[in-house]
Amino acid sequence: MHWVPYEKMAESTNQWHLDEAHHHILEKTRWVVMEKIHGAHFCIVTNGSIIAGASRKHLLASGENFFEYQRVLKRLEPQISQLFSLARHLYPQLTSLSIYGELFGGAYPHPEISPVPGLQPIQTGIYYTPDIEFCAFDLAISDLQQSSYLDYDQARMLLQSAGVLSVSPLLIGSYQEALHYPIEFSSTIPALFGLPPLQQENQAEGVVIKPVKALVFSTSKGPLRPIFKRKIAAFAEDKRFHQAQKWTLPPFTPGPDKLDQLKWEASYQVTENRLLSAISKIGYRGPHEPSRSRQLFHLLVADVLEQLALHQPNLLADLAKAEQQELLTSIQKEVRELVKQFFQKETRRV
């Protein structure tokens, strides 16, 4: 069964590095703004007879522990089968359908709502529903030769027709309207399940912004889909966006030592939100399952290095081998300390 991992989403349009012709296309197309759900990336893949799940990294084994995904697949089997049939009616060459979305929920701290026994929240800080749910945000079709995404409005029509929950549009408008959409608002998701508002603030994590049409641009770094996310400060993965918190590092004054500057940059990327994002890619472990702590460690280190390559490519390229190793050792030390501190207060394990 054909499955393609979902692309990493940019956090700024500056990360696209598009030319003037591309920007002209962006200005002319319609855009959709959707609430970003704070959960774990999940993909449902089907060829019409088999239905499987995938994390951001790999197809999941039927017994693999990944945020209770099996209960979601079992519940959605009829809808997924219908969705495949509807898509195949439109695309007769269809061999595989990928439904990209988010697993979320697991807790809803409201006095009138009973918890679901045995469940724990996939993420905390924003609460959506006491059960584990799935919400789709993209559809991709595959035939024997290629895979391609469907336009937003067509994907949403198919998902709604099959009864699969999908992300509702907060805005459909111009590029500039989408760019300036306010990102601080209460989550719209609990209302979809008929739940009463929480007594405490329940802000959305942010928004995802993408063209209504499934655009793909050819760039020097390969194909690019112009999609990006904007998060509120509390959920940013860079410490410099946590405006309500005191910085633990002094402001850096640029100087001749590029290694020190990169260490400084890396320190701001080693955050609990980035750690939680890494956990959402592998899931928590059961009490008798082998640990994936080493995998989590390497995921987080790789993510920090990826951010450095994205924001400071020239400084990184100028490092000598000994300096590269010193930078890596520094990042590993900070990541190791963050993971240690996090699991001293977290009851679950990876």
Residue 164's CATH number: 3.30.470.30
Is 213 part of any domain? Answer: yes
**Among 131-145, 192-206, 282-296, which stretch is predicted with the lowest mean pLDDT?**
282-296
Which pLDDT belongs to residue 248?
Answer: 41
Those residues whose C-beta lies under 8 Å from the C-beta of residue 97, and which sit 6 or more positions away, are 45, 46, 47, 83, 84, 87, 139, 140, 141, 142
Which among 114, 56, 103, 116 has a CA at the least distance from the CA of 76? 103
Q: Which of 205, 235, 265 is the last residue of a domain?
A: 235
The pLDDT of residue 141 is: 97
Asked if the structure places residue 267 within a domain, the reply is: yes
CB 204 within 8 A of CB 126: yes
Element containing residue 40 per DSSP (H, E): strand 40-46
Higher pLDDT, residue 207 or 260: 207
Q: Give the pairing of strands 31-35 and 169-173.
A: antiparallel
DSSP structural state of residue 56: S
Could you give the number of structural domains in the chain? Answer: 2
> For 188-220, what is each residue's pLDDT tens digit?
999 999 999 999 999 999 999 999 999 999 988
The pLDDT of residue 244 is 34
> Where is average pLDDT lowest: 105-114, 121-130, 238-247, 312-321?
238-247
Whole-model pTM: value is 0.82
Domain boundary among 185, 210, 235: 235
- Residues 208, 244, single domain; the answer is no
**Does position 106 have pLDDT exceeding 50, yes or no?**
yes
> Which of 61-65, 139-143, 243-247, 305-309 reaches the highest mean pLDDT?
139-143
Q: Tens of pLDDT along 144-174? A: 889 999 999 999 999 999 999 999 999 999 9
Specify whether 202 is located in the same domain as 295. Answer: no
Give me the CATH number covering residue 304.
1.10.10.1810
**Is residue 8 domain-resident?**
no
81 assigned to some structural domain: yes
| Residues 95 and 223 grouped into a single domain | yes
Instruction: Examine residue 277 and state whether it is found in any structural domain, yes or no.
Output: yes
For residue 249, the enclosing domain spans 240-345
Is it the case that residue 247 has pLDDT exceeding 70?
A: no
Last-in-domain residue among 177, 210, 235 = 235
Task: Report the candidate in 96, 137, 172 with the shortest Cα–Cα distance to residue 6.
Answer: 137
Mean pLDDT of 91-114: 96
- Asked if the structure places residue 184 within a domain, the reply is yes
Q: What does each C-alpha distance from 173 to 1, 9, 180, 221, 291 come to in angstroms?
A: 36, 21, 11, 29, 46
